[in-house]
Structure 1
Amino acid sequence: MQMSKTKSLSLGLQHVLAMYAGAVIVPLIIGAGIGLSNAQLTYLIAIDIMMCGVASILQVWKNKFSGIGLPVVLGCTFTAVGPIIAIGNSYGIESVYGSILVSGLAVVLIARYFSKMIRFFPPVVTGSVVTVIGITLIPVAFNDLAGGQGSENFASPMNLAIGFGTLFVILMIFKFGRGFVKSIAILLGIMIGTGVSAFFGLVDFSAVGESSWFHLPQVFYFGMPEFHLAPILTMILVAVVSLVESTGVYFALGDITDKELGEEDLKRGYRAEGLAILFGGLFNSFPYTTFSQNVGLVQLSGVRSNHIIYIAGGMLILLGLVPKIGALTLAIPTSVLGGAMLAMFGMVISYGIKMLSNVDFEKQENLMIVGISVGMGLGVTAVPELFAALPERISVLTDSGIVMGSLTAIILNIVFNIRKAPAVNAEKASREQHVTG
């Protein structure tokens, strides 16, 4: 059935709002970490939002060379935040973008080989990865619900009331809404939460007044890229880790949309991600990867159309070109976004559990894989200083609960399932040979 333009635009806007806070926070953290000026930070935020749109369109557009063809939204990867700050402070911002360019090219080149590793991602791995992603993002939602980490009124009764009130509105709309209204429960919850916040004087429109009306992207805005071995190797590692995370998201969306993914699909998806990283390096934004909060939104809304992602991508490009319009979304209180995030991240966890329902838990090995990988992801998230004494060069692995949980699931599956299979087959063949002999 053909959807009206109003409904399509509303659903596209809902995807934009779902990922906007996560997309904006990365340039804010990196800008503060490497000492960018206000003008540089304004450019960084605008170009990041625009490139999120370009990257999403590249991924949803399925062609012979690239594109997974699923309702995927891409944003800057949180895994790269620490390494980018470290590279920027040690080698300069030009080296940051040199390493991003090389890592993007590396992803495009290794896509065909990485896609052949599909046997390393059975449901016990992908289900664990998606579950870990959802669980480790819950603290982000709660920090925002409380007003944002470091804010003066963190966890104030007003912030908690607005955050949980937004969540309650979303749940009530989802419970009693019908059809289209139910599908945009997140968007309506954010709008109602923002309206109530405005009534109490908690909505700040100052960013709108300070922003310009129009902005054009520039190639190498921060200067010509520089290439140093250590930063390049670091960013390639970040990119490979992002591919592991993205693989879980691909399979989750494939399950939601009833599409079975094969080696060719993964290869095109990885190539699209590599192209997105390349564009990030050219226009001085960031490496891009799949945003899992939008997976929860696809499941929650029940709308699985790629057409909606094209609309969301176009909106993000427009927001990046017109900073004043984009600044309107900055007026949404953090606690409102936190309440909405809690619903979306919760759905990511639920879908991870659903994927795990296809796993044979009669095998103790599978119980161990799920238990240890989820435990590792949650443990690193809850106790981030656990690996603080280790060298900084491996912090890209140890600082992220998502990365640690994902790698644990992959390694344990190899140890317990993949390596075990050849040995079992060899033993069986030996017995048969003995009998026939």
Structure 2
Amino acid sequence: MTVQLRPGRSNRSTATGNDRPTDPVDEILPARSMITLGLQHVLVIYAGVVAVPLVLSGALGLTSSQTVTLINANLLLGGLATLVQTLGFWRFGARLPLIQGASFIALSPMLLIGTEYGMTAVVGSCLVAGALAICLAPVFSRLLRYFPRVVIGCLITVVGISLMPAAAGWLGGGEGADDFGAPRHLLVGLLTIVVTLVVYVRFKGLLSALAVLVGLLVGTVVAVAAGMSDFSGVGDAAWFGVSAPLAFGVPTFEPVPILVMTLAMVVIMAETTGNTLAIGRMVGREITPRRLGDAFRAEGLSTMASSLANGFPLNAFSQNTGLIAMTRVRSRYVVAVAGVILVALGLVPKLGAVIAAVPPAVLGGGAIVMFGMTTAAGIQELAQVRYQDTPNALIVAISISVGVLPMAMPELLADVQGPLRMVLESGIFLCAIVAVLMNALLNRRGADDPPAEAAPSTDPATDAATDSAARPVPTLRSA
């Protein structure tokens, strides 16, 4: 079997000059490939990064200038946090291709705190929650043994499914749009999907890896021609701008907001566990308690810095998981370039205005492909679980079903109020809790994985040689 190398791949380590192959996670691609692949990651997660500040500012009645401050701050800090997570320093950063962005999990607590106590209390509670995340990192990292393959597979699957409502919202033209669901939005989204699939299947090398970007570009051009997008706002945007720290005032520290935000940070760390394990499986890098703790410390430090710079709590985005699965480019330096682009978008509002002008329907088409790939990765993980003579089928059935409930019928939990509602609204967190508890209770004799199963190899040649034997469900494209 021949091994198909990714764009820009080298068979020898350029760093050491020896004959050992470069670890795909540490691979440095040509500059053009790095930039274009990094831009793909930014396009996939951009809408999610700006959605949190937009929703919060609208709900709290903030001014237009305050809204711009929040957006720029979250782009800037998300980019810096991505650099910390991918490149790392000392015990901060997982050194994996993880993108950081404003957390949706913290949105509901921030709305609650902002309404009752004001933005200064939001900043203060985020600052304390970030510090506590750093302190709790060693404790949380030791819980890794409670996340065997059956739990990881359920988590990855629910992560992909949980992203679909966002994809549907974009595909319809953006939630709240007057013509939401109009045929023209659906057709443009469908065109984006078709172009992405055609480019991915019919071409090879760099162009195939950039299938999502090509689909987004073609969809945007068609949407502009149809009058569905307006780039006139690009000319009005400033070339450079950065907001002063603590723009909303000196932080205030109230016990209740701190408690609520700390609980949110615990949920964020649980979700980050699932996302980090998912990325680790995809790139063939073992996730040890030390590496997981380093990821938590990076998130805590980034959240503290973000709160001081008018940003929000940050967590590892799951949107880029599907992109890694589809392109098979596992380099953390590609994602680091995406972090640099996010920093540029935060410092140069004009660049941010260009990407913001991409029609939601186009983003929706790309999101369906990417988020679907995340779900497929979870299914592949579950396909490697041993079901015969084990309770694993029951664990999968119940944990995924419970995780989907908040998305299938949000009204189910409408009567639950306070901090508990924030926990129950997270399908990923519910899935994690149910899967971990059921596995701990029912799989006491280690019946999760086949005895002969080996940890994922970091050598792509080994992965290619063992893929057909060890993985019954093939990837989207086999070597």
TM-score (norm 1): 0.93
2:122 pairs with one of 93, 96, 102? 96
1:12 pairs with one of 17, 23, 38? 38
Question: Which structure dedicates a bigger proportion of its chain to helix?
Answer: 1
Cα shift at 1:62: 3.2
1:203 aligns with 2:229: yes
- Could you say which residue in structure 2 is the equivalent of 1:233? 259
- Could you say which residue in structure 2 is the equivalent of 1:415? 441
1:261 aligns with 2:261: no
Matches within 5 A, 1:261-410: 261-410=287-436
Distance 2:185 2:147 in 1: 40
What code does the residue aligned with 1:355 have?
E
Matches within 5 A, 1:204-223: 204-223=230-249
Kept in 1, the 8 Å contact 2:272–2:315? The answer is: yes
Q: Secondary structure at the match of 1:79?
A: coil
Kept in 1, the 8 Å contact 2:87–2:333? The answer is: no
- Could you say which residue in structure 1 is the equivalent of 2:5? none
Kept in 2, the 8 Å contact 1:57–1:310? The answer is: yes
Q: Secondary structure at the match of 2:94?
A: coil
What code does the residue aligned with 2:259 have?
L
Distance 1:23 1:334 in 2: 14
- Could you say which residue in structure 2 is the equivalent of 1:182? 208
Distance 1:374 1:19 in 2: 24
- Could you say which residue in structure 1 is the equivalent of 2:63? 37
Q: Secondary structure at the match of 2:106?
A: helix
- Could you say which residue in structure 2 is the equivalent of 1:166? 192
Distance 1:275 1:99 in 2: 14
What code does the residue aligned with 2:84 have?
L
Distance 1:197 1:407 in 2: 42
Distance 1:344 1:206 in 2: 29
Distance 2:330 2:295 in 1: 17
What code does the residue aligned with 2:74 have?
D
1:64 aligns with 2:119: no
Cα shift at 1:363: 4.3
Distance 1:207 1:102 in 2: 37
Q: Secondary structure at the match of 2:97?
A: coil
Distance 1:45 1:363, change over 3 A: farther
Deviations 1:43-69 (A, max 9, x none): 111111111101111111234311111
Runs of 4+ in 1 over 6 A off after TM superposition: none
Deviations 1:293-328 (A, max 9, x none): 101111111111111112111111011001111110
Distance 1:411 1:319 in 2: 42
Distance 2:259 2:357 in 1: 38
Deviates more, 1:103-112 or 1:298-307: 298-307
Pairwise CA RMSD of aligned residues?
1.4
Distance 2:90 2:439 in 1: 32
Q: Secondary structure at the match of 2:415?
A: coil
Matches within 5 A, 1:40-55: 40-55=66-81
Distance 2:159 2:353 in 1: 28
Kept in 2, the 8 Å contact 1:380–1:404? The answer is: no
Cα shift at 1:417: 2.6
- Could you say which residue in structure 2 is the equivalent of 1:81? 107
Distance 2:416 2:284 in 1: 43
Q: Secondary structure at the match of 2:391?
A: helix
Distance 2:243 2:211 in 1: 34
Cα shift at 1:408: 1.9
Kept in 2, the 8 Å contact 1:207–1:330? The answer is: no
Q: Secondary structure at the match of 1:100?
A: helix
Cα shift at 1:85: 0.7
Aligned residue-pair number: 420
Distance 2:320 2:273 in 1: 15
Distance 1:207 1:402 in 2: 37
Cα shift at 1:140: 1.3
Distance 2:406 2:372 in 1: 19
Kept in 2, the 8 Å contact 1:102–1:232? The answer is: yes
Deviations 1:416-436 (A, max 9, x none): 235x77xxxxxxxxxxxxxxx
Distance 1:20 1:260 in 2: 28
- Could you say which residue in structure 2 is the equivalent of 1:121? 147
Distance 1:158 1:73, change over 3 A: same
Distance 1:194 1:124 in 2: 40
Kept in 1, the 8 Å contact 2:130–2:300? The answer is: yes
- Could you say which residue in structure 1 is the equivalent of 2:164? 138
Deviations 1:63-94 (A, max 9, x none): 43111111111111111111111100001110
Q: Secondary structure at the match of 2:185?
A: helix
Deviations 1:223-266 (A, max 9, x none): 11111111111111111111111111111111111111111111
Distance 1:353 1:244 in 2: 20
Distance 2:45 2:172 in 1: 18
Distance 2:415 2:440 in 1: 28
2:181 pairs with one of 138, 149, 155? 155
What code does the residue aligned with 1:315 have?
I
Unaligned ranges ≥5, structure 1: 422-437
Deviates more, 1:397-406 or 1:69-78: 397-406
Distance 1:50 1:268 in 2: 21
Cα shift at 1:411: 2.3
Kept in 2, the 8 Å contact 1:30–1:85? The answer is: yes
Q: Secondary structure at the match of 1:75?
A: strand
